[in-house]
Structure 1
Amino acid sequence: MRLRCAVLDDYQGMATSVADWSPLEGRVEVVCFREHIADEDGLAAVLADFDIVVTLRERVPFPASLLKRLPRLQLLVASGMRNSAIDYAAAAERGVTVCGTQSLSTPPVELTWALILGLARGLTTEDAALRTGGPWQSTLGADLHGRRLGLLGLGKIGSRVARVGLAFGMEVTAWSRNLTAERAAEVGVALAPGKEELLAGSDFVSVHLALGDRTRGLVGAPELALMKPTAYLVNTSRAAIVDQDALLAALHEGRIAGAGLDVYDIEPLPADHPVRSAPRLLATPHLGYVTRANYETYYGQAVEDIRAHLDGAPVRLLG
């Protein structure tokens, strides 16, 4: 009997075209869902008849309450090798194997710089004006060369962002609770004395931290108040690291020059979400990981995970 596999959040309908699923032919029926299913009741109803689920990043929580409503589930595949939305203990208790895939660090680096450059040169404003007969040159660009880039986090992604900043001729500083001066020096950047000093002294601030108890709400109203009125904040990491309401207030009141966001408290964003109408904001729909090479990795290795599970030798186990 063929098993049934659900692929969630396949927004662009690319899951089965960027990878070769033929190794599963005759063994697994693959069903892709392009629309996000936001509530647990809906997920429980849709997934009740599936043996395998492929979930994209951390879009869909899999708590114990949902897992116990999925009696047929035997394999859960998550893109990436870390997923805070899955209750691993509950999965193990119910005999559900959880596997991951590799994830490239370069796509979010590139998107971070797309947001920084877009903000600095007013690209969306100028593009809209040019296309609609608006003014010829209406913004005054913010220079990168000679300005300070402050990085909250200097891990795999933050380090790559730092090197691009250095190539632009920026002064780059970084801070995180465990960052040392030696590690910063390895990347060629300076260690900021503290979070407050980094925020107060930077012309551009970019967030590259993992979400956890110590980073949730790390940048709130007091921290935003430290930033220069000419400074920009970019977050391509996790939405909860920055207090979204405080950031929206700062943008509406003009207390910072602008922000670039790729992550949100609710995804996909509801039509009436306040982010959609915020001024001084360049926003993208969580595109940090969305590139062909990354999708080829995600779905290609998802096929490998499923095949290995069927053969009784699971790979890339999470938990």
Structure 2
Amino acid sequence: MRTCLILDDYQQAALALADWTRLADHVAVSAIAEHIPDADALVARIAQAEILVIMRERTPFPAALLERLPRLQLLVTSGMRNLAIDLAAARARNVVVCGTDSSPTPPTELTWALILGLARHVASEGRAMREGGPWQSTIGTDLAGATLGILGLGKIGTRVAQIGRSFGMRVIAWSPNLDEARAAAAGVERAASKEALLEASDVVTIHLVLGDRTRGLLGPAELRRMRRDAFLVNTSRAPIIDQDALVRALDEGWIAGAGLDVFETEPLPADSPFRRLPNVLALPHLGYVSRNNYRTFFTQAVEDIEAWLAGAPIRQLG
């Protein structure tokens, strides 16, 4: 009987959202709800498992960790891309790495939750209502007629653009590989440059893949190009923005505010400035966290394990 552990099951939902009994004759499955950041404690907890199921990049799997897990044979991640797994090290240790499908709909919807939350001061006004504060203390920002700038026009960015147009916004987009034809097909204007997009937009939202070309894409110079009344939203990956520069931009009023769902260290440390800055609407990386997406993740994780047990792995990464 093999052992399978599901890591970082924060909502304790994994076992209820898929039929794990399909594996009962061959695999003993259990879930760990709490995040284990300490490497030694993590190894002590998972070293006996032959199969691990992980949620996105909540727990990284670099070579140093893989080397300490000699029993590990199969690693299943939600999604088909996980930069926190050292795939070369996994191959070297004969660890099979498989993924699952992931819908672009939940992160699209959360992006708009952040945009609307910032534009209409939902968090602060809701808190005032709950705490007996002033009745109306803010003035909302109109989206109709405003310019939405999208960095990255892939599956999520294209859907964000569609919703922006439904609000009556002018939508412009830029990415290193975006051409006129693809922008036109999505019904948006292609910005001449990243800088032109930042200068023209009332709301900038990021939907790029993190890589060598996008890491630190927005630094101090780029953030200073944004309007002082503009909002910046990031539901992609934190390192696309220089985090120190972002803190300064928010603290000194270079921009009006930021909606953030991703951070360089997660869970976000208690002393992070993103927890105290009044013009930040921060969420705990909820972009892909929806019932339907979780059902897909865990159902396909079961399928991945079944296929691997049968000697024919599916949805392999790398």
SS for the counterpart of 1:157 is helix
Match of 1:44 in 2: 43
Deviations 1:101-148 (A, max 9, x none): 000110000000000000000111111111222111111000000000
Match of 1:63 in 2: 62
- The 2-side partners of 1:236 and 1:64 are apart by 27
- The 2-side partners of 1:87 and 1:257 are apart by 38
Letter in 2 for 1:34: A
Is 1:247 aligned with 2:246?
Answer: yes
Q: Which moved more, 1:306-315 or 1:6-15?
A: 306-315
Tell me the number of residue pairs that the alignment of Structure 1 and Structure 2 aligns: 318
- The 2-side partners of 1:229 and 1:12 are apart by 38
Match of 1:314 in 2: 313
Q: Which moved more, 1:222-231 or 1:83-92?
A: 83-92
- The 1-side partners of 2:88 and 2:266 are apart by 25
Match of 2:177 in 1: 178
Q: Which moved more, 1:34-43 or 1:233-242?
A: 34-43
Letter in 1 for 2:18: A
Match of 2:231 in 1: 232
CA RMSD of aligned residues (A): 0.9
Match of 1:303 in 2: 302
CA displacement at 1:177 relative to structure 2: 0.7
- The 2-side partners of 1:47 and 1:85 are apart by 17
Is 1:222 aligned with 2:250?
Answer: no
Deviations 1:146-187 (A, max 9, x none): 000000000000000000000100000000111001100001
Structure 1 spans left out of the alignment, 5+ residues: none
Match of 2:273 in 1: 274
Deviations 1:247-298 (A, max 9, x none): 1111111221110000001001122222111120001000000000000000
CA displacement at 1:42 relative to structure 2: 2.5
CA displacement at 1:39 relative to structure 2: 3.0
Letter in 1 for 2:99: G
- The 1-side partners of 2:136 and 2:202 are apart by 23
Identical-residue share of aligned pairs (%) = 62
SS for the counterpart of 2:16 is coil
Letter in 2 for 1:185: A
- The 2-side partners of 1:119 and 1:63 are apart by 36
SS for the counterpart of 2:29 is strand
Q: TM-score, normalised by structure 2?
A: 0.98
Is 1:73 aligned with 2:66?
Answer: no
Letter in 2 for 1:238: R
- The 2-side partners of 1:249 and 1:37 are apart by 31
Match of 1:134 in 2: 133
Deviations 1:67-112 (A, max 9, x none): 1111110100010011111111211111111100000110000000
Is 1:30 aligned with 2:60?
Answer: no
Q: TM-score, normalised by structure 1?
A: 0.98
- The 2-side partners of 1:83 and 1:209 are apart by 14
Match of 2:14 in 1: 15
Is 1:292 aligned with 2:291?
Answer: yes
Letter in 2 for 1:152: L
- The 2-side partners of 1:229 and 1:208 are apart by 22
Match of 2:121 in 1: 122
- The 2-side partners of 1:36 and 1:254 are apart by 34
